[in-house]
C-alpha cells in the first residue's frame, strides 16, 4: 500500500519548477554569505551581480531532442543540467577562479562538471566558466540534489555574450563569414579590456601602497 507521500509521475512533473526555483534560492543565499564575508575580508566583493533563470518547458523539450534523449521525467531530471541557471558577473577574471576554488571546497555542494570557456573560448569567441553543481534540498522524505548550471563571467565577457545573443540569436542560419570573424575579433577586445582593467587596478593598489609607505617614513622622521 502506498504511503500518502507517494506521487504519480504527473504530480512529480508539476512539482519540478518549484524544486528548481527553491534550489536557486538556496544557492542565492549561499552567495549572499560569500559576498558579505568576502567584503569583510578583502574590502570588496568579487561579485558584481547575479541573475537566475528557469529554462522554459519548450527549451527543455528541444534540448532533450537535440541530445537524442527521450522526453520523459527521467531524462529531464537526470540528464538536463541547466534547467536552473545562475549567472555570476565578476569584475576580474581571477575573482572567477577564486569563487570556483571556494565552491570546490564546500561540503554543501557537489561539483558535477566544469567547462572552462575562458581558458578555451568557443570558436565564435564566447567566454565564460560554466560549473554544473548539485544543490541539496532537504525535503520531508529525503534530500534531493538538484542540478544548477552556474555561468561565471567578467563584465566585459557578459557585455560580449549579451550583445552576441541579441545580434545573432535569430540569424543563426545565414550569418556571413566576415561577420563571424568580426564577432571573434570583438571577443579579443574583451580580453584586452579585462587585462587593461586588471593592470589599472594593480597600479592603483601599488600607488596607494607607495603613498602609505611615504607617510610612514614621514612620521618616523
Ligand atoms: P539560454 O537562453 O541561456 O538558456 P551541450 O552542448 O548540450 O553538451 P550545453 O548545455 O549546450 O551543453 O552547454 P554549454 O555550451 O556549456 O552552455 C550552454 C549555455 O551557455 C547556453 O544556454 C548559453 O546561456 C551559454 N552560451 C553557450 N555558448 C554561447 C554563445 O556562443 N553565445 C552566448 N551568448 N551564450 C552562449 P542555452 O540553453 O543555449 O540558452
Domain architecture of the chain: domains with CATH: 9-156 (3.30.460.10)
Mean of pLDDT over the chain: 90
CA distances from 210 to 61, 181, 196, 197, 203 (A): 58, 44, 21, 20, 10
Indicate the burial class of 17 (C-beta count within 10 angstroms; 0-12, 13-18, 19 or more).
Answer: middle
pLDDT per residue of the chain (221 residues) written in tens, 0 to 9: 445 556 788 888 888 999 999 999 999 999 999 999 999 998 888 899 999 999 999 999 999 999 999 999 999 999 999 999 999 999 999 999 999 999 999 999 999 999 999 999 999 999 999 999 999 999 999 999 999 999 999 999 999 999 999 888 766 677 788 888 898 999 999 999 999 999 998 898 888 766 555 555 444 43
Pocket test of ligand 1: the residue of 57, 65, 161, 168 to mutate, having most ligand atoms within 8 Å of its CB, is 161
77 CA to middle of ligand 1, Å? 18
Alpha carbon distances (Å) from 115 to 60, 128, 130, 182, 207: 20, 8, 5, 25, 37
Q: Report the SS3 class of residue 75.
A: helix
**C-alpha span between 150 and 163 (Å, rounded):** 20
Pocket of ligand 1 (CB under 6 A): 55, 67, 82, 115, 122, 124, 126, 130, 161, 164-165
Q: ipTM of this predicted complex?
A: 0.91
Substitution candidate for ligand 1 out of 82, 166, 168 with most atoms within 8 A of CB: 82
Amino acid at each position: 500500500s502506498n504511503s500518502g507521500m507517494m506521487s504519480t509521475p504527473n504530480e512529480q512533473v508539476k512539482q519540478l519548477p518549484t524544486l528548481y526555483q527553491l534550489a536557486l534560492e538556496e544557492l542565492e543565499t549561499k552567495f549572499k554569505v560569500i559576498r558579505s564575508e568576502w567584503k569583510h575580508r578583502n574590502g570588496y566583493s568579487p561579485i558584481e551581480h547575479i541573475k537566475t533563470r528557469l529554462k522554459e518547458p519548450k527549451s527543455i523539450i528541444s534540448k532533450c531532442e537535440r541530445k537524442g534523449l527521450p522526453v520523459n521525467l527521467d531524462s529531464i531530471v537526470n540528464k538536463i543540467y541547466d534547467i536552473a541557471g545562475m549567472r555570476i558577473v565578476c569584475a576580474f577574471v581571477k575573482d572567477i577562479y577564486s569563487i570556483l576554488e571556494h565552491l570546490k571546497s564546500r561540503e554543501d555542494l557537489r561539483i558535477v562538471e566544469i567547462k572552462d570557456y575562458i581558458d578555451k573560448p568557443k570558436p565564435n569567441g564566447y567566454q565564460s566558466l560554466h560549473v554544473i553543481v548539485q544543490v541539496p534540498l532537504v525535503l520531508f522524505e529525503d534530500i534531493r540534489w538538484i542540478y544548477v548550471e552556474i555561468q561565471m563571467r567578467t563584465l566585459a565577457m557578459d557585455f560580449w555574450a549579451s550583445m552576441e545573443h541579441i545580434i545573432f540569436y535569430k540569424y543563426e542560419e545565414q550569418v556571413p563569414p566576415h561577420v563571424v570573424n568580426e564577432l571573434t575579433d570583438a571577443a579579443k577586445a574583451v580580453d584586452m579590456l579585462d587585462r587593461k582593467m586588471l593592470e589599472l587596478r594593480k597600479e592603483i593598489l601599488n600607488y596607494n601602497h607607495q603613498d602609505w609607505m611615504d607617510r610612514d617614513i614621514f612620521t618616523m622622521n
